[in-house]
Chains A and B, each alone.
Chain A
Amino acid sequence: MSEYLETAVDKFVFRVAADRLYSADGVWAQCQGKRVRLGLTDYFQQRNGDVAFVHVKPVGTTLEVGEEFAELETIKASASLFTPIAGTLWDVNKALELSPETINEDPYGKGWLAVVEAVDWERDAAKLLDPQTYLSLIRSEAEQENAG
């Protein structure tokens, strides 16, 4: 069960799970042995709206850091998602094909996107943000935008 950090901006509350690392563009990475689970942050899903479709690249795809591993379509936007971890896609969340809204409902849990067999977790993790730093980043970004 994850614990969360929270920040409120205007009427919005954004949660950041304390047990994983983050890319600045809203992808979380959680190391599970040799494998790393990837998903989208609560901030990302709230900012982009209700998810209509997500297309994750097939299992077996080899990815470098910064390469697109999935495409997301929401009611308001389309987005390319880039992996913060190099490796091979080992698993994708097939349940999202029928229930993509799970990304909105449970972004840190059942709404995970993919599992990567990492080439070098330590190397890639060193470039990611810890939960407190990511929380500060999104708070600053949201406040700046809210101020207009």
Chain B
Amino acid sequence: MSQTATYHTTVHWKGDHWGHLVMGNGPEMDFSAPPDAHGFGGVFTPEDAFVAAANTCVMMMFIWATERFKLKLLSYECRTEGTKVIELDRTEIFSRLHFHPLIRVAACGDSPAVVEGRVRRALQAAQKYSLVANSVKSEIVVEPEVVIEE
């Protein structure tokens, strides 16, 4: 229950509205704010990072869940939208993360209804056990499209 692990990143200012990010797992890159927030196009932004953190974490947890649920995953693709709300006091919050996963799995001789049930439970587990999804206060909505192939 109280086991802990730590992860770290380091940023430094490069001048103007530019920064450089070094991630604990190795990659590094320049970043800015989005163009609508006085930043630049074509580069990594905190907004992208937030949505990507949730999207990538849920996907990795789903991959793990499919292995635990003995599903033969054929493909997984997920577009995730983060909705920003600007409050009356001008503070901003990601009020919602909306996941649209497209999941293809093989039936492997089981009935499509049984397989789809397992896929949906794996997806629920992915959301429940995703470190990032479990850590954000945004509402999380997952609307999957599941395709079972014989």
Binding site for B on A (CB under 8 A): 9-10, 12, 49-50, 52-53, 73-76, 98, 101, 142, 145-148
Inter-chain contact B1/A12, CB cutoff 8 Å? yes
The interface residues of chain A, by DSSP majority, are classed as mixed
Other than the known A73-B68, A75-B68, A148-B4, what 16 A-B pairs have Cβ atoms closer than 8 Å?
Answer: A10-B1, A49-B129, A50-B121, A50-B125, A50-B129, A52-B68, A52-B69, A52-B125, A75-B64, A75-B65, A75-B125, A98-B114, A98-B117, A142-B1, A145-B1, A147-B2
A52 to B128, CA, bound (A): 14
Least CB distance from A98 to B in Å reads 7
A76 to B90, CA, bound (A): 41
Instruction: Tell me the total A-B contact number using a CB cutoff of 8 A.
Output: 38
A64 to B101, CA, bound (A): 48
Binding site for A on B (CB under 8 A): 1-4, 64-65, 68-70, 114, 117, 121, 124-125, 128-129
CB neighbours of A50 from chain B (8 A): 121, 124-125, 128-129
Inter-chain contact B70/A53, CB cutoff 8 Å? yes
CB neighbours of A49 from chain B (8 A): 129
The interface residues of chain B, by DSSP majority, are classed as helix
Least CB distance from B76 to A in Å reads 17
CB neighbours of B129 from chain A (8 A): 49-50, 75-76
Inter-chain contact A101/B121, CB cutoff 8 Å? yes
CB neighbours of A142 from chain B (8 A): 1
Q: A50-B121, A75-B125, A76-B129 are in contact. Are A146 and B2 (CB under 8 A)?
A: yes
CB neighbours of A53 from chain B (8 A): 69-70
CB neighbours of A98 from chain B (8 A): 114, 117
